[in-house]
Chain A
Amino acid sequence: MAPIIQVSGVRKTYGSMVAVDEVSFEVNEGEIFGLIGPNGAGKTTTMECVEGLRTPDRGTISVLGLNPFHDVYKLQNRIGVQLQQAQLQKRIKVWEAVDLWASLYQKKTVDGERLLEQLGLIEKRNAWFMTLSGGQKQRLFIALALISDPEVVFLDELTTGLDPQSRHTIWDLVRGIRDRGKTVFLTTHLMEEAERLCDRVAIIEHGRIIDIDRPESLVKRHCPERTVVLATDGLDAREHFRVIPGVEEVICNNSQVTIRGRGDDLVTEVIRCLSENQIRVTDFRTVLPSLEDVFLKLTGRSIRD
């Protein structure tokens, strides 16, 4: 099956500033694909080139078999877009916006009222845009992106500035979009969001893509370290831990022992060692590397810097 989105060798400059360069990736049907990286890495520029809102200086882009530059209206008819930092007319009512958007597409749209209900906006249907909270505005923009029942949904930094509860609601919603067979292309600088939501991610920094894969594969490839933290009073236990295959370091701090090593079997080996030597533990947890660690490793800096 051909990918829904194909981006190849895209470069975009603003004056002398190179925003993105040599960006290539593919998004497959029915997946949630995330472009992740810090602010200013080129996520929005890349996404807006794919949406047909910007023209790349170089490279080719194909979305649903269409060229976003030449077939921009055909494309807009089939995709749903949520832009970063967008606004609507201050005094437009929620239902008016949804109604207007529904009228713009040459196809059957979803029921706007139901959509507002799903997004928890039904009580706000007569409210002016300017009176909505940040989370409500964001949910309205998601409604506008979904109103046309699009084949591909673009979400740019969709939960930025939202409280954790709204964030989880929106994550569920995005998973729901995928479960209905749609393709989702999103950007985020929140690693937790990428890890929980995305089937595959591309890490972008300074306008270039560093790596693309499933989040867990990226973690496995770039951060094979595993860490087990346990608490035990057995003083001779640490000697047993040191000989476990794959263990590189054992750190003791009073009764807390931190065992570092690599390989997927590390945790199993630690558990086996505990049971074979009948070591009594009062606490046991594993610390697995996350996308955050992958990013740190690949770029030498934390994404929050």
Chain B
Amino acid sequence: MRGLWKLTWIEIKIFLREPLGAFGTIAFPVLVFLVWGRMANPKMVTTPANASGFIRVGLPVLASLLIAVSSVLSLVTIISIYREGGILKRLRATPLRPQTILTAHVIVKLMLTALTLALLVIAGKRYYPVGVQVPFFAFTMALLISTWSILSIGFVIASIVPTARFAQPIGAIILYPMIALSGLFVPLDSLPPALHAVARVLPLTYAVSLLEGIWSGDRWLAHLGDVAALVVVFVVCTALSTKVFRWE
């Protein structure tokens, strides 16, 4: 893992130099959170106790999930741009291990996720007092585990996208429907059986279950199944992408 920290640090600096990249990934979920929160319940600032279930649990989870997904989309785009430009190949023609290159990107994205979540919490405290005790540390961990798992899906997507131009749209087409079916908007049990079956195998369903549970104060023990599912997704996707990943 020689060079990992230097590469990670350089990738962070490069990311921050990217004007739209930083804005899109960090600011977008926070904006969604604030705008949607105000639209959904303009009075909740004064009466947090009356806030609907979606506002109390669903919205923070949605915003967090958007953080994870935009991190992953940004990873997919960066990897495909790096591949197309020969940057991955150039990095490989050094003693750098391939896994070091990819780990650096995962670390950058996880840090980004944590940073955006922190901004979200600050924004929420300032303008949006949900008024419940939230286990922030546990929630951050849950979000990082979810992001880490979805990132592995990102690597599979990055392996199959033909060119960098298609990276973002293809990633979005795969990931956003997963959010729709994740049980966040419509309870899983009220889905038609076919969709229910699909939702059962989608990794975001388990991420949502974990995030909602931890946000509402559940213990980790109650969500071991979700964590296990996310780990399985990671293992399967990592194995898959080591087979199909293209460096050039």
Give residues in A with beta carbon < 8 Å to B.
51, 53, 73, 76-77, 81, 83, 85-92, 96, 99-101, 103-106, 128
Contact = CB atoms under 8 A, between A and B. Distances in A.
Given A96-B10, A103-B6, A73 B97 contact: yes
A92 B104 CA distance: 15
Contacts of B90: 83, 86-88
B92 interface: yes
Contact of A53 (B3, B82, B85, B93): B93
Given A85-B86, A100-B6, A77 B95 contact: yes
Contact of A76 (B7, B14, B82, B93): B93
B190 interface: no
Contacts of B95: 73, 76-77, 104-106
B94 interface: yes
A128 B7 CA distance: 16
Interface string B99-143: 000000000000000000000000000000000000000000000
A103 B3 contact: yes
B27 interface: no
* Interface SS of chain B: helix
Contacts of A83: 86, 89-90, 93
Interface residues of B, number: 22
Contacts of B10: 89, 92, 96, 100
* Interface SS of chain A: loop
24 contacts: A51-B93, A53-B89, A53-B92, A53-B93, A73-B97, A81-B93, A83-B89, A83-B90, A85-B86, A86-B86, A87-B90, A89-B10, A89-B11, A89-B14, A89-B87, A100-B7, A101-B94, A103-B2, A103-B3, A104-B2, A104-B3, A104-B95, A106-B2, A106-B95
A88 B87 contact: yes
Contacts of B243: none
A77 B87 CA distance: 19
A53 B89 CA distance: 8
Contacts of A87: 85-87, 90
B3 A100 contact: yes
Interface centre among B7, B14, B85, B93 (most CB of A within 10 A): B93
B18 interface: yes
Contacts of B18: 91
B96 interface: yes
Interface in B1-22: 2-3, 6-7, 10-11, 13-14, 17-18
Interface string B68-99: 00000000000000100111011011111100
Contacts of B17: 91, 128
